[in-house]
């Protein structure tokens, strides 16, 4: 089994490295007939449709070919996805909240005009063919209130709170006992935010982002959707 897995990884690495090393004229020469052939197909696969979409957004980009080497997922509203380090990924459509562990680098693989360090990229990737096993997950709700938590067991660096304020659950108190919080309001207007240990009070709308220090209680009131990213490192004294 280990020999087979090692062989799969080597083949995938060699293929990926060869693809990224292709000069621009070779990419365009091969991409144009592929797009024509796919566009003429009466029935298109998910990969085919994604290829056509990416070619429209990033014409002549090497990333267009990568749809045939990666998994294509569509997440439902509220659904989470955890990816370990050194796994390539791309966001193609829709809005998502991403929380990233401490990292010393971000290396690009395509769908961008920015510099791509091919040697570093090919060296760092895991080339795992089972990386998505158990990657999807749903948040854990805290009773019947508006707060739910994204914190898969494998994550030690951070957790993400989802605070869905509705007319029936329009208030939430979040004790930030062990961590500061990065707060993002993605839906709502006129949400009242206050910190219990101070006189800080603000009215926030969709698109607002702010930082809340550790060892305080954050209070939210209104109707909307708020995400709060926290560390899982204890900072406050008992």
Structure tokens at 119: 């040697």
- Please report, for residues 91, 161, 202, the alpha-carbon distance to residue 181 in angstroms, rounded to integers and kept in the order given: 24, 10, 16
Residue 26 backbone zone (phi > 0: left; psi -120 to 50: alpha; other: beta): alpha
Q: Give residue 237's Cα distance to chain centre.
A: 32
DSSP string, 25-49: HHHHHHHHHHHHHHHT-SS--HHHH
Active site residues: 108
Contact 216, 198 (CB under 8 A): yes
Q: Give 67: exposed, middle or buried? Use CB within 10 Å, 0-12, 13-18, 19+.
A: buried
Q: What's the CA gap between 55 and 3, in Å, rounded?
A: 37
Name the nearest CA neighbour of 82 among 170, 196, 160: 160
Nearest to 5 by CA among 123, 135, 127: 127
Q: Which residue has the tokens 């989802």?
A: 162
Q: What is the bridge-based pairing of β-strands 136-137 and 80-81? A: antiparallel
Q: Are 66 and 110 in contact (CB under 8 A)?
A: yes
């Amino acid at each position: 089994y280990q020999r087979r897995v090692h062989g799969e990884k080597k083949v995938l690495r060699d293929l990926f490295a060869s693809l990224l090393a292709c000069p621009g004229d070779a990419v365009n020469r091969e991409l144009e007939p592929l797009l024509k052939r796919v566009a003429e197909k009466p029935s298109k696969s998910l990969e085919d449709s994604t290829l056509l979409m990416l070619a429209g957004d990033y014409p002549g980009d090497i990333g267009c070919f990568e749809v045939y080497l990666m998994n294509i997922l569509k997440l439902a509203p509220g659904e989470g996805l955890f990816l370990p380090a050194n796994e390539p990924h791309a966001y193609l459509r829709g809005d998502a909240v991403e929380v990233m562990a401490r990292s010393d680098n971000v290396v690009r693989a395509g769908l961008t005009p920015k510099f791509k360090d091919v040697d570093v990229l090919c060296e760092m990737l895991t080339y795992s063919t089972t990386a998505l096993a158990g990657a999807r997950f749903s948040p854990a709700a805290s009773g019947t209130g508006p707060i739910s938590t994204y914190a898969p067991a494998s994550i030690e660096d951070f957790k993400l709170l989802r605070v869905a304020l509705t007319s029936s659950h329009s208030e939430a108190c979040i004790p930030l006992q062990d961590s500061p919080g990065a707060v993002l309001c993605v839906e709502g207007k006129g949400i009242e935010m206050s910190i219990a240990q101070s006189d800080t009070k603000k009215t926030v709308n969709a698109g607002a982002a702010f930082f809340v220090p550790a060892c305080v209680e954050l209070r939210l009131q209104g109707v909307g959707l708020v995400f709060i990213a926290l560390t899982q490192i204890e900072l406050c004294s008992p």
